Structure 1
Amino acid sequence: MSSSDTHDGAPKPRRSTAGRGRPASGRGAPADKDIRPPLRRVTALFRRHRRWVVALVAAACLLGAVNVVSPFLLRAIIDRALPDKNAALISYLAGGMIVAALAGAGLGVVTTWLANLIGQRVMHELRVQVFTHLQRMSLLYYVRTRPGELQSRIANDVGGVENVVANTAASAVQNATSAAAVGVAALVMSWKLALICLAVVPLFLLAAIRLGSQRRGIARRRQGQLANLTAIVEEGLSVAGMLLATTMGRRAALAQRFTTESQALADSEMRAAMSGKWLLSTRRASLTMVPAVVYWVAGLAFAHGAVVISIGTAVAFTSMLNRLVGPASALQGLGLQVSTSMALFGRIFEVLDEPVDIVEKPTARALPAVAGDVRFDGVGFRYADDQPWTLDGIDLHVPPGTTTALVGETGSGKTTLGYLVARLVDPGRGAVRIDGVDLRDLRLDAVSGAVGLVSQDTYLFHDTVRANLLFGAPDASQEQVEAACRAARIHDLVVSLPDGYDTVVGARGHRFSGGERQRLAIARMILRDPPVLVLDEATSALDNETERAVQAALDELSRGRTTIAIAHRLSTVRHADQIVVLDRGRIVERGTHDELITLGGRYARLAAGVWGAGPGETPADEAAADPTRTGVRSRPDQ
């Protein structure tokens, strides 16, 4: 059974769409779609740091002014100090050039520090904003989105923007102010030569604007391919992915898939690297040829006996233009980088614009004391507007401290019903209430504090046993941790490990067996101590001996709590206070085990043909307990 099949009624990733009219998030947005966010939205990221931005601009302007001092001092040396053989003036002017160079170096460090400070703060806030927004997304978003895609958005997209904002911002401000200062100084020194030499700048700016649109498209395709590659790495190099590829003999196919995506990414990288190189080379050559034009004009004037400009002005002017080559080259390259970064900003804002399904109302409140009375009032739910109702017209009351078992065939809506109690999804019709209060009127932390979920897919972080247990109750003492593990029948195993509770569990807890991971999850839930408990096939696919230990831990966990158990073992169902039978999203039967067996309806048929033996039972035991039973399947029903 596939992982998607284990959640009845859940949408399949290949069929779903990523939100309202969006493409499937599993593959990301179309790689060739150029989404350019409004510039004001990008600049709004810097609004909180405007004081630092003003300081950066001021330092950069001062740096630009300092950088153009030396050419004027050089002109004075050539035209005044050398002809007059004034040693003192030469010394003063040369000393001024040294001071200007030292001041420029110091101001360069200051502007770099300010730009990186602003950039890192903005990127930190953006990363946190994206991560926090993704955490607020409902379960539906994660069902239809590959984990590698989300990692790529945070690591690759935000990381790509970080390079521009944090590292390139300093260069952009410095070079922009330096270029402006050089342009003004050139006009002051010789406006005629300046107009001739600077005439080529607008032409290159127009070409750069056209090139920017092209590079945005390339960047968007590149990031989409990078997201695909990240997803393949995430899926293929995980423990589960490695086991699947090896046992299915598909390692070569997976490697070929990686090779294909890597080649596509390499092609995009080549296009990005070569895009605009002819323009950059032509512009660089043009700027370096400008001094030759200056010397040519000045030389013709001297050759014909006309003094248009002095020798000092010619030398100083070319020196100043040489100072323009670096900033102009950097600015055009930075302009192309900024155009690329706009595509990355578009992908980031695309994530931030994803609607949040589970929203906490401004008037949301907490429950001072939770009795655990759960009620479904006319609940209907479907995973998408164009899909049929997974649940329809559910009216169900689970009294405090009782156990309700949900049974039914795969796709009947059992797991979805459990998700509604934990508010992983919200109903499209009706309401789910705890102690008479609609879950949508409660704070999210109140719901998570009142309802605990133990699923068949136990997740453990790559951390120590203690850290995984304390994730549910950070303030629990070591004595409480050990007591919870004893109740979950896992303490003896943990203390037998080389590092005891400080043992690292490994990726997704694969150091432990499935039953051991389940008992660790149960111990974590015991520490959290929720009044309402949802057991989503917590003992599925376990052998009888392992299930016996896990079931004993679950019995300990369920004692005194309101429990909703998605059941697959007859032993679990038989002792429930009420059994609810679902079929195609509707309740078709309810009652105790004996009542439903006597009724001889759908429950009796399920008991006869689907469930496996429970802890301490054999198929023969179950058949004896239920004369209508005609066969047993080892794989439990959903």
Structure 2
Amino acid sequence: MCGINIICGFYDMYKYSDAARSTISWRLIGLARSAWAQILLAVFIGLGVTLINLAQLSITGYAIGQMFSGADVSVVLPMLLIVALMIILRAWLTYYKEMIAYYIAAGIKIALRNRIYVHLLALGPGFLEQRQTGELLEAAVHGVETLEIYFGKYLPQLVITLLTPIFIFTYLTILDWQLALLLAIFFIAALTAPQWLNSSARRERRRHWAAIAELNSYFIDSLQGLVTLKAFNNGKQRGDEISKRATDLCNAIMRVIGINFAYIGATNLIMTSGAALALGWGAVRVTQGTLSIDVLLIVLLLGNEIYKPILELNTAYHGGLEGATAAGGIFNLLDTVPDVANAPDAASTPPSAPSISFEDVTFGYDKGKRPALLNLSFEIKPGENVALVGRSGSGKTTVVNLLLRFWDPQHGRITLGGRSLRDYALETLRSQISVVSQDTYLFHGTVADNLRMSRPDATKEELEKAARLANAHEFIKALPKGYDTIIGERGARLSGGERQRIAIARVLLKDTPILLLDEATSSVDAENEAIIQEALDRLKQGRTTLVVAHRLSTVINADRIIVLDSGEIVESGRHDELIRAGGIYAQLVSAQRVS
């Protein structure tokens, strides 16, 4: 445990939570709980390899001593054959141990990545908005990958390094306690002396990880904004910034490598000094007749075996160090408590009626520091088509986010079917709601893959039916491979209007009783708007619909229009009633007509 704690002292590259800071050693071990049987098997195999080495080197030293004493070849040859067989057995066991180690690491990485992904889903968009994508990728992808050496090599090797010397020194003491004591002193020195580099290693490892996260975030941000960079002719300046961050990372890596070599160099110097001193003192004793040549040869051969675990631990040490550093960031992520979670007794039964009610709801982002809604109250009856309009920043999209429970209000409550949203399991709640937003996200894959996001078991006929209703079938069939056409990340190979129609088809496939339209036509041209609006009108039929709109021409036929201003309801009624009232809605309509 001491060795593990030494490694885990270097995890704090970010601002880790108290839970991660105080329990990281045990939590790293806890990650391997399901693989302890395999880890112990790898340790036992490693110890078996050590015992084979002891036997092999003892027989080799004895055989060489016999040859120096003039023994016949027929006496030595069987011993050499046994040594050859031991070498083959040792190689096979070593291979088997390495394979077990990689299986251990692979299993832990798969389980941990799944756990991180599920936790990120639970954290939701509120958390993601406060983090850079590169930072999260660093923890979820590269950070998890670095744990391979920790679990596959360092952890088993640490146990082997602690146990192997017990066997070797016991045997050496039986052969010659004086040489055993000398080698033991240098062994302890080789294991502990390089620890003076720990503070430097910790500092440089923090810088290394910070440089990786910074470069990843900046590079991903640049790729996502590539069109903007080209439009503003800012590609070279951005490239210089990336180059600067890449140089910072390179310098950080070189400093880490320098410390690694210093660590290994100090260890090798101590080991070489110990072996040389043991050889010199042993040779003097052989000439004095107080030590036999074959014992000296066996001790010298085993002396190398004493230091071998340290060399192997050094090889895995800095990989394990990097893994433990990454583990701190991973645990910090996993320790983050979701703002929204299922209640212990959350209902999995859907509501009896798709009615929506906001009851004196107050909400602000950043835990209320940025007010968005104030004492908001309204009701939407089953099958009713209600529109939310207002100036930018009036709180319209916040209403949609609260309905999906991306956040919970600080005051008041929201009900679905007469029951608080908090009483429903999140999966049940969201299974009742479909959303078509302004910024439709399509995944890299085929058109069919993206349509099946809402219903993975949908047949080809069902896909085509939904696409026809969404006015999307014709343009999909015109694509190179139809529904099997790859559309690129975020649907980059499609126009804005085509992306929106696929989003509508996806919602039609989901077929939920409640529909949320958040600025669904605001980013398309007039021709596409007419096609999309026709599809949306079909989509609304028989559903409770809440429309968030900037283009007021799309809500003229709504059953009711609610006007928000600074998070409060200032008007409510049908289009013609609000026009006659001459309030904010009439002003907004007038402004759009003029524009």
Answer yes or no: same fold by TM over 0.5: yes
Aligned to 1:146: 132
CA offsets, 1:526-581, max 9 Å, x none?
00111111111010032211111111111111111111111122222221111111
Change over 3 Å in CA distance of 1:290–1:579 after alignment to 2 = same
Task: Give the alignment of 1:386-401 within 5 angstroms.
Answer: 387-401=369-383
Distance in 2 (alpha carbons) for counterparts of 1:100 and 1:176: 24
2:579 corresponds to 1:597 = yes
Distance in 2 (alpha carbons) for counterparts of 1:519 and 1:75: 80
CA offsets, 1:492-550, max 9 Å, x none?
11111221111111121111110110001000010011111111101003221111111
Which one of the candidate residues 174, 179, 182 is aligned to 1:188? 174
Cα offset, 1:213, TM superposition? 4.1
Change over 3 Å in CA distance of 1:595–1:131 after alignment to 2 = same
CA contact (8 A) 2:149 2:320 kept: no
CA contact (8 A) 2:222 2:238 kept: yes
Aligned to 1:247: 231
Aligned to 1:313: 295
Change over 3 Å in CA distance of 1:302–1:399 after alignment to 2 = closer
Which one of the candidate residues 38, 45, 68 is aligned to 1:59? 45
2:595 corresponds to 1:608 = no
Which one of the candidate residues 112, 124, 148 is aligned to 1:162? 148
Q: Percent identity?
A: 30
Cα offset, 1:120, TM superposition? 1.2
Aligned to 1:216: 202
Aligned to 1:512: 494
CA contact (8 A) 1:161 1:341 kept: yes
Distance in 2 (alpha carbons) for counterparts of 1:369 and 1:357: 24
* Aligned-residue CA RMSD (Å): 2.3
Change over 3 Å in CA distance of 1:81–1:200 after alignment to 2 = closer
CA contact (8 A) 1:579 1:590 kept: yes
Aligned to 2:272: 288
Distance in 2 (alpha carbons) for counterparts of 1:581 and 1:605: 11
Change over 3 Å in CA distance of 1:302–1:446 after alignment to 2 = closer
Distance in 2 (alpha carbons) for counterparts of 1:100 and 1:319: 16
2:293 corresponds to 1:270 = no
Distance in 1 (alpha carbons) for counterparts of 2:14 and 2:271: 41
Task: Give the alignment of 1:425-574 within 5 angstroms.
Answer: 425-574=407-556
CA contact (8 A) 1:422 1:453 kept: no
CA offsets, 1:153-190, max 9 Å, x none?
21221112223323555655555554554333333322
Could you state the TM-score of these two structures normalised by the residue count of structure 2? Answer: 0.92
Aligned to 1:199: 185
CA offsets, 1:8-28, max 9 Å, x none?
xxxxxxxxxxxxxxxxxxxx9
Residues paired across the two proteins, number = 581
CA contact (8 A) 1:422 1:452 kept: no
2:88 corresponds to 1:102 = yes
3-state SS in 1 of match to 2:442? coil
Aligned to 1:256: 240
Task: Give the alignment of 1:394-433 within 5 angstroms.
Answer: 394-433=376-415
CA contact (8 A) 1:82 1:90 kept: no
Which one of the candidate residues 564, 568, 573 is aligned to 1:586? 568
- Give the letter aligned to residue 230 of structure 1: N
3-state SS in 2 of match to 1:223? helix
Change over 3 Å in CA distance of 1:279–1:147 after alignment to 2 = closer
2:280 corresponds to 1:301 = no
2:367 corresponds to 1:378 = no
Distance in 2 (alpha carbons) for counterparts of 1:352 and 1:218: 25
CA offsets, 1:202-240, max 9 Å, x none?
3333334343343233222222221221122222223xx
CA contact (8 A) 1:462 1:507 kept: yes
CA contact (8 A) 1:60 1:173 kept: no
- Give the letter aligned to residue 508 of structure 1: R
Which one of the candidate residues 212, 222, 233 is aligned to 1:226? 212
Change over 3 Å in CA distance of 1:255–1:189 after alignment to 2 = same
Could you state the TM-score of these two structures normalised by the residue count of structure 1? Answer: 0.86
Task: Give the alignment of 1:60-75 within 5 angstroms.
Answer: 60-75=46-61
Distance in 1 (alpha carbons) for counterparts of 2:447 and 2:277: 74
Which one of the candidate residues 49, 59, 80 is aligned to 2:35? 49
3-state SS in 2 of match to 1:152? helix
CA offsets, 1:580-599, max 9 Å, x none?
11111111211111222222
Cα offset, 1:146, TM superposition? 2.0
- Give the letter aligned to residue 270 of structure 1: M
Distance in 2 (alpha carbons) for counterparts of 1:356 and 1:523: 31
CA offsets, 1:412-437, max 9 Å, x none?
11100011112222222121111012
- Give the letter aligned to residue 443 of structure 1: A
3-state SS in 1 of match to 2:366? coil
Gapped regions of structure 1 (runs ≥ 5)? 1-27, 612-618, 620-630, 633-638
CA offsets, 1:6-56, max 9 Å, x none?
xxxxxxxxxxxxxxxxxxxxxx9469x996853111101111222222222
Which one of the candidate residues 88, 100, 116 is aligned to 2:102? 116
Moved more, 67-76 or 259-268: 67-76
3-state SS in 2 of match to 1:283? helix
Gapped regions of structure 2 (runs ≥ 5)? 1-12
- Give the letter aligned to residue 588 of structure 1: V
CA contact (8 A) 1:60 1:111 kept: yes
Distance in 1 (alpha carbons) for counterparts of 2:74 and 2:581: 115
